[in-house]
Amino acid sequence: MAATVGGPRGITEGVESIITTSLDASFFHHWCRRRAHPGVDRARCRSTPSRHTRRAEGSADHMATSAAQSRTIAFIGLGIMGSPMAANLVRAGHTVTGYNRSRPAVDRLVGAGGQGADSAAAAVADADVVITMLPADPQVAEVVLGPDGLLAHVRTGTLLIDMSSVSPQTAATIAEAGRDKDVRVLDAPVSGGEAGAIDAVLSIMVGGDAEDFADAEPLLRALGTTVVHVGPHGAGQTVKAANQLIVAANIQALAEAVVFLEKAGADLPSALEVLGGGLAGSTVLARKRDAMLNRDFRPGFRIDLHHKDMGIVTDAARAVGAVLPLCSLTAQLMASARANDDGALDHSALLRGVERLSGRAVD
């Protein structure tokens, strides 16, 4: 399939930008100020704005140009990620109508200045852009491709942007079905978790036609600070699969380091502080440090969903003949967490699996 790893050059050109710039720039800025490092450009440190500065500047830019760029958007799926994303589109000056199977999420969007609908069909009736943010392939297939799905109700020429994390094959299938209905389709999964969605600093990897990406880019920049066209239909999902592999492997490595440090009697907070200032530092360490220290695994991104994503990586890698040993091991550890009833916890709860393997009692 054209939109998988090893396909058009556009996929690989976007991968480095997506993965590196999904690192929290505010963390980089803070690190630069505290650490003298010969490889760091001090001028860049001084000029790199904090996350909150970028968000404030971005909001001002969007509000200043909202009259010219305002779109009528239907947002389907107002969960942990979708709810703040839809609210940020409202703040950017767009007219947003939301639909979610649970009504309280719709009411929150209305409270943020958006509009609510009682069905997906009603939400998309007057929209020129439709965004879906749904849990997995079955839900996306049902909502978009079903007999009474979105493609049966959207207007000709509508731009449909699926921001869910699904397989590259599902993305390609939706694009083909959209083409038959004269609906333009992009796959645009995101990285950054709940915090990135709230602060509008997501990293967004987009697959589809370049012209459709150019049309969507201004509104996507109301949601993220890194918005990159990575190739044809399905390419966004391929890059997202790679992202999820990297994140899972980093969380597992951090979990193992935490158990090792504690068993060795090191002062864990101090150890993680110094690790964060060296080559071992990462966005995963910065964002998941406190969760692991406090054993606070309230979900920002659930193990159930990451387990699903690891299945996507495994299947996609098999399809293109890529051998990914670490992926296979990490996927098994994620599956073990689910088997031990940790599926509803944040993916930082991989720590609990390492503790079980190391003979620790886990509450």
Distance CA 301, CA 193 (A): 6
Distance CA 45, CA 30 (A): 8
Which candidate, 284, 337, 335, places its Cα nearest to that of 309? 335
181 counts as catalytic? no
Query: Which residues are CB-neighbours of 248 under 8 A, at least 6 positions away?
Result: 306, 309, 310, 330, 331, 334, 347, 350
Name the DSSP class of 151: G
Pairing outcome for strands 190-191 and 202-207: antiparallel
List Cα–Cα distances, 78 to 75, 113, 133, 263, 305, in angstroms: 8, 14, 7, 42, 16
**Tokens 């530092």 map to which residue?**
281
Of 240, 263, 288, 308, which one is the catalytic site residue? 240
Phi and psi, residue 116, nearest 5°:
-115, 155
Catalytic annotation, residues: 240
